């Protein structure tokens, strides 16, 4: 989020200094190399460096004193009890505070519970007497789409009450698409948790419906088609699968639940979303284990190790549960992912890695498609059938292929919710 914001704001013509305490990342960025995979971001960073609107540093004293706006975009991992661990937010603010100029705006982009701004103001006042404004600027970008989402957001939410702060934050985003929603910091922070919890709940809901379809012969894709034209419902963003993953939904649903519990609203739907999502993947793997008459001794190809397409982020990726499950059940696993390479060696020492999907599937009795990477949803199924064992299973956890495609090729197809 930080790298994307820095590069986009530089493109808008602002002078941006990106600060991180990780020297390796900063020196990579200053050379124009982005330390993770995100489409279009490298070009944007390089353009910013070239125009000298963008630079990166590890030094607070270099980045903070001249800043009119400071965006805090550090991580907020979940603490063991599910609440947001705010130590990096508080640490960054404390380290920056003594260098802050008068009337600077500290805008919190990290996902934090309502009420955090008051704590941040208290921390800052320990280090400086200057007037510092604290605002909320929640971020809604998706990984893999981060640059496009930031250039053309559906909306930009500004959580601030002082007119001068609102004016400066509106002008900071001038040139970007999307509606502006100016609300209180507490509402802005609630909006971020609400958006992610709602979307996570939507995915969990359709996965539950998919389970029912598997029992009664209905097809989940047809159900979605039939209800999606209802404007109150909509046809997007509830494709079924093994459950949601990534760096935000699992964490944010847990955090909202824990935060709700801490203020006496912890029962009901929120903890259930997380519970259903976490148990889903093991439930499905147990079903597949039965269906293929045991993974033991079978060669299994796993396609897709990231948590979703167009990113090399593996946080809460389905493979993190699927691969260990397969190994525990005695399968021989060969995996392929277009971007997760070195990390796959570190994460999965017990498996073989192939450099293309067909090699990964060679002589396999089971293929499990976990991520809808463009390359993996356009496989030549006849070529696959040739390299795989005859009558092999193709388990499509993203419903990208059809029963008919696979039958014609001689593979046994298994989709989610009957495809
Ligand atoms: C999400 C939010 O979309 C974004 O607004 C927020 O800022 C950060 O969290 P991200 O985690 O990058 O973004 O990915 P997203 O595309 O939303 O997918 C999240 C998870 O849900 C993935 O595991 C994805 O596979 C899954 N998903 C998404 C589904 O299973 N079905 C869907 O229809 C959509």
Quick check: is 213 catalytic?
A: no
User: Does ligand 1 lie within 6 Å of residue 153's CB atom?
Assistant: no
Residue count of the chain: 419
Q: Annotated catalytic residue: which of 96, 151, 210, 248?
A: 248
Residue 141 Cβ inside 6 Å of ligand 1? The answer reads yes
DSSP element (H, E) containing 95: helix 87-97
What pLDDT was estimated at residue 168? 98
Please, which residues have CB within 8 angstroms of residue 110's CB and are 6 or more apart in sequence? 72, 73, 74, 75, 76, 88, 89
Tell me the C-alpha distance between 260 and 269, whole Å. Answer: 11
Query: Residue 403, Cα to own-chain centre: how many angstroms?
Result: 30
Asked if residue 245 has its Cβ within 6 Å of ligand 1, the reply is yes
Predicted pLDDT of residue 266: 82
* Pocket perturbation via mutation, ligand 1, pick of 234, 239, 246, 306 by most ligand atoms within 8 A of CB: 246
Residue 72's DSSP bridge partners are 108
Task: Please give the model's pTM, rounded to 2 decimal places.
Answer: 0.96
What is the chain's pLDDT, residue by residue, as a tens digit (419 residues)? 999 999 999 999 999 999 999 999 999 999 999 999 999 999 999 999 999 999 999 999 999 999 999 999 999 999 999 999 999 999 999 999 999 999 999 999 999 999 999 999 999 999 999 999 999 999 999 999 999 999 999 999 999 999 999 999 999 999 999 999 999 999 999 999 999 999 999 999 999 999 999 999 999 999 999 999 999 999 999 999 999 999 999 999 999 999 999 999 988 999 999 999 999 999 999 999 999 999 999 999 999 999 999 999 999 999 999 999 999 999 999 999 999 999 999 999 989 999 999 999 999 999 999 999 999 999 999 999 999 999 999 999 999 999 998 999 999 999 999 99
CA distance 391 to 179: 52
Separation of alpha carbons 107 and 136, rounded Å: 5
Pair 296, 329: CB distance under 8 Å: yes
The pLDDT score that the predictor gives to residue 267 is 82
Ligand 1: which atom is nearest the Cα of residue 207? 30
- The finding on whether 203 has its CB within 6 A of some atom of ligand 1 is yes
Q: How many CB atoms lie within 10 A of CB 78?
A: 16
């Amino acid at each position: 989020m930080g790298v994307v914001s820095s590069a986009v704001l530089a493109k808008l013509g602002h002078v941006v200094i990106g600060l991180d305490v990780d020297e390796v990342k900063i020196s990579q960025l200053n050379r124009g190399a982005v330390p993770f995979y995100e489409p279009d971001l490298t070009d944007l960073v390089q353009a910013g460096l070239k125009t000298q609107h963008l630079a990166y540093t590890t030094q607070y004293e270099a980045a903070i004193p001249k800043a009119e706006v400071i965006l805090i975009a550090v991580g907020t991992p979940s603490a063991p009890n599910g609440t947001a661990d705010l130590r990096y937010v508080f640490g960054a603010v404390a380290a920056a505070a003594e260098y802050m100029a008068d009337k600077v705006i500290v805008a919190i982009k990290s996902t934090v519970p309502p009420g955090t701004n008051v704590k941040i103001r208290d921390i800052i006042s320990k280090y400086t007497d200057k007037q510092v404004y604290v605002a909320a600027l929640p971020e809604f970008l998706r990984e893999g789409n981060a640059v496009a989402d930031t250039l053309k957001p559906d909306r930009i939410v500004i959580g601030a009450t002082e007119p001068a702060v609102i004016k400066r934050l509106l002008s900071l985003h001038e040139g970007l698409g999307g509606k502006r929603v100016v609300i209180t910091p507490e509402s802005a922070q609630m909006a971020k948790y609400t958006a992610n919890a709602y979307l996570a709940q939507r995915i969990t809901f359709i996965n539950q419906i998919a389970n029912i379809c598997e029992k009664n012969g209905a097809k989940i894709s047809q159900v979605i088609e039939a209800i999606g034209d209802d404007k109150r419902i909509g046809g997007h963003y509830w494709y079924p699968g093994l459950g949601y993953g990534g760096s935000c939904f699992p964490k944010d649903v847990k955090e909202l639940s824990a935060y709700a519990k801490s203020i006496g609203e912890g029962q009901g739907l929120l903890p259930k979303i997380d519970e259903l999502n976490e148990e889903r993947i093991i439930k499905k793997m147990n079903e597949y284990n039965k269906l293929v008459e045991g993974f033991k001794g079978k060669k299994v190809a796993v396609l897709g190790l990231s948590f979703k397409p167009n990113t090399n982020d593996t946080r809460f990726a389905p493979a993190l549960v699927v691969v260990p499950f397969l190994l525990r059940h005695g399968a021989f696993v060969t995996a392929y992912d277009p971007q997760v390479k070195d990390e796959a060696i570190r994460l999965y020492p017990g498996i073989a890695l192939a450099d293309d999907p067909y090699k990964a599937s060679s002589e396999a009795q089971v293929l499990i498609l976990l991520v809808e990477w463009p390359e993996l949803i356009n496989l030549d199924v006849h070529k696959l059938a040739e390299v795989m064992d005859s009558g092999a299973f193709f388990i499509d956890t993203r419903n990208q292929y059809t029963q008919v495609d696979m039958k014609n090729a001689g593979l046994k197809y298994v989709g989610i919710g009957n495809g």
